[in-house]
Structure 1
Amino acid sequence: YSDSGVIAKVYTEQFGLQSYLINSVHGKKSATRAAVLQPLTLAECVVYHKERRQLNRVREIKCEHPYVTIPHDIFKSSILLFLNEILYKSIREEEKNPGLFEFIYTSLRLLDLKTDNCSNFHLFFMTQLTRYLGFFPDGRYSAETPYFDLQAGSFKMREPAHPLYLDKDLSEKFSELTTLSHAGLERFRLSNQQRKALLGKLITYYELHLASIQDIRSHKVLEDIF
């Protein structure tokens, strides 16, 4: 925005998605403030807020929960950057949504605290995020409904006439993801091939239901490391 200021997109508990002008970010004495503006940092802000103003100002900002493991873990940091891209391109609402805020906040804290394998965390996050974006899958996998139709957003009895669906194996795994909690994720298992395939299908699912989701790129890193 200027030599020392930036405009940041911030998802807030009280006001939903907002754009804030944050001054004095660059410079020798501003390292701490710049660190707070890293992707998906959990920050505490004091702001000057006026309704219907496109750009408000931040008076104070500080890190509310410093990440302990994410900055030093290539797997977790790669997941974080991917989730940042998904959230940045999918959330457009300016109204507060306490449920969505709590889901994001809790998920990020748990990612930082996880000590076991986190290779499926991004798949779980994307699946559960659809609850708040308006296209959570309808129905569940069963012998009677073994195919998930990405266009319709529901499980079907027969293979759809179009190619945008999950086969039986991926449909079963995806259905399992819809019922999991954070605590149950450690028991969820996928092969590398299944993980890569399901990630690609989930991105397609988002693209079909959100016009703002285009040209996702950060998933390529996840495909390389998991």
Structure 2
Amino acid sequence: MKDGPSIARVAALIGDHARAEVLTALMADRALTATELAGIAGVTKQTISAHLAKLLDAGLLAVDRQGRHRYFRLADQDVAGLLESLMGVAFRTGAVRLRSSPREPALRKARVCYDHLAGELGVLAYESLLAQRVLSAGADGLRLTPKGEGWFSALGIDAPALASQRRAFCRPCLDWGERRHHLGGALGAALLARIDELGWARRRKDSRVMAFTPPGEQAFRSLFR
């Protein structure tokens, strides 16, 4: 039987090594130029142009124009979620890089997954929110409890305002390293932004790593104990 959309075209696009490197780099939720992406993928500018055209045509990427410059980014959160899931399958099946980056342990501890916190600390936060009954997971999905609205307000996050946005409010995102969930959606993005505002952690330059300061990690773990 041939039911539902065909995944062959998208799978073939993602399966190319250079395009996979581009998509992975854009998981940091930072728009990059074709020149920057060519360097990341290890191909020429002419070659990267062809790759980017295919990804744009498939709806996996979007492009922002500023003057003569074009900046490429992931099309939306669904694409980011797909990539995170693929990373989880790759990690679980042993499809890891021959040479691990020195940042690999830091990536597994705390990193940006598109625009929300992932890694060991992201999973810790999600499971703590469930245990504290700030969030409730049921057959109808993930929901913010009445207690949760006050909890986020005390942290400086206006949950009702986030709920009125067009994007998904809150949803679980499967973590590739932990094989458990972290918090995605608008609420997850607001939580990561608040962590940054409080000075608990900073994203490392040219990396998805979120580096927590010792006092910041202590405060984080106290909040999500």
TM-score, normalisation: structure 2:
0.29
| TM-score (norm: length of structure 1) | 0.28
